[in-house]
Structure 1
């Protein structure tokens, strides 16, 4: 689904912060992206989400070579990828329901066609009782689950999650991990960026280990 070949990234005229990346994200796969703080996990997530463009190398996303794909195609490709950011990026003036439904509103979908799906998804992530709450009154774990639900509402083929358990306690981290495992079982490829060894040890999954700008794969 996503393939990197000899990919490198630098900012301006500085040295490469990521270099010689060679890996792929198969359909329906589950993998962790790990490495020390500052190693480049978030930068790689941004490359995978197509919000950054590499300075060299080949990136193919859903069969399209990004070096030749016109910019007009990128939004459609990006809509096939869900992403959960570290800082959640919820809108405080919108309710839980409205935050999750926002991607569908942007796509100009009729609410009558998606309201049931949004409500069911919020129940699935354990927020059925918080549907009308606003982000300022939600706990960190609740905000995290809203962000996950928003990333899932468009039924992406790939889900990218940047440190999704970094601000929650261990029991909630395990619950979130079970959500990702269930999502993967239903057919979505999942990439979780984390430095939590204990979390990774709970799943038999491939690890993409980034260090000093390079990537190694541990099966």
Structure 2
């Protein structure tokens, strides 16, 4: 599903954030991505999502060399990926329901084909009472849950989640983990970047440990 071949990343003339790393993640797998603050976890997810480009090396996602894709090819591949950013990236002019439904709308589905699914998912992440609210009135935890719902609603081939439980209580964190596990059970490859060791201890899956610009799989 994902392959990094001798990938390096640096910003400007600064030192390498990632130093010629190589690893392979198989389709349908589940990994936690961990490491100290500033190690480059968010940068690694952005490389996979093609919002950053490597300084050296090659990245393959779903068998495609992302550097060889044109803009249309990148857009098409991104539509197969669900992603949760730490800054949520909800659209301010859309309600919670409309934000979560957006991936399905982009896929060309009609509202009557997904209205019930979107509403049910929002209720499941405890946002049923915020369906018509706009992002400006949502709390940080509510925005996070909306962003997660948006990322998973289309049952993506790959889910990338950056600290998805950082603004929620432990009970909701457990509920979201069950959601990720269920997605994975139906074939979605999952990578969760997290500092939450209690969360990682609840699931015996491999960990991508990022430190000093290198990745080890434990």
Same fold? TM cut 0.5? yes
Q: Deviations over 1:56-87 (max 9, x none)?
A: 11211111112323332100011111000111
Q: Deviations over 1:174-215 (max 9, x none)?
A: 222222122212221111001111111111011000011111
For 2:171 and 2:152, the matched residues in 1 are separated by 22
Structure 1 residue 108: deviation in Å?
4.6
For 1:194 and 1:206, the matched residues in 2 are separated by 13
Unaligned residue ranges in structure 1 (runs of 5+): none
Is 1:90 aligned to 2:95, yes or no?
Answer: no
Aligned to 2:34: 34
For 2:14 and 2:72, the matched residues in 1 are separated by 29
- Classify the secondary structure of the residue corresponding to 1:67: helix
Structure 1 residue 131: deviation in Å?
1.7
Structure 1 residue 134: deviation in Å?
2.4
Residue 91 to residue 72, structure 1, CA distance change in 2 (3 Å): closer
- Classify the secondary structure of the residue corresponding to 1:126: coil
RMSD over aligned Cα, in angstroms?
Answer: 1.7
Aligned to 1:137: 137
- Alignment map for 1:95-110 (pairs within 5 Å): 95-110=95-110
Aligned to 1:62: 62
On the 8 A contact 1:125/1:179 being kept in 2, the answer is no
Residue 116 to residue 172, structure 1, CA distance change in 2 (3 Å): closer
On the 8 A contact 1:96/1:133 being kept in 2, the answer is yes
Normalised by the length of structure 2, the TM-score is 0.92
- Alignment map for 1:68-83 (pairs within 5 Å): 68-83=68-83
- Classify the secondary structure of the residue corresponding to 1:93: coil
Normalised by the length of structure 1, the TM-score is 0.91
Aligned to 2:43: 43
Q: Larger deviation: 194-203 or 131-140?
A: 131-140
Aligned residues: 218
Residue 68 to residue 135, structure 1, CA distance change in 2 (3 Å): closer
Is 1:9 aligned to 2:9, yes or no?
Answer: yes
- Classify the secondary structure of the residue corresponding to 2:53: coil
On the 8 A contact 2:20/2:56 being kept in 1, the answer is no
- Classify the secondary structure of the residue corresponding to 2:132: coil
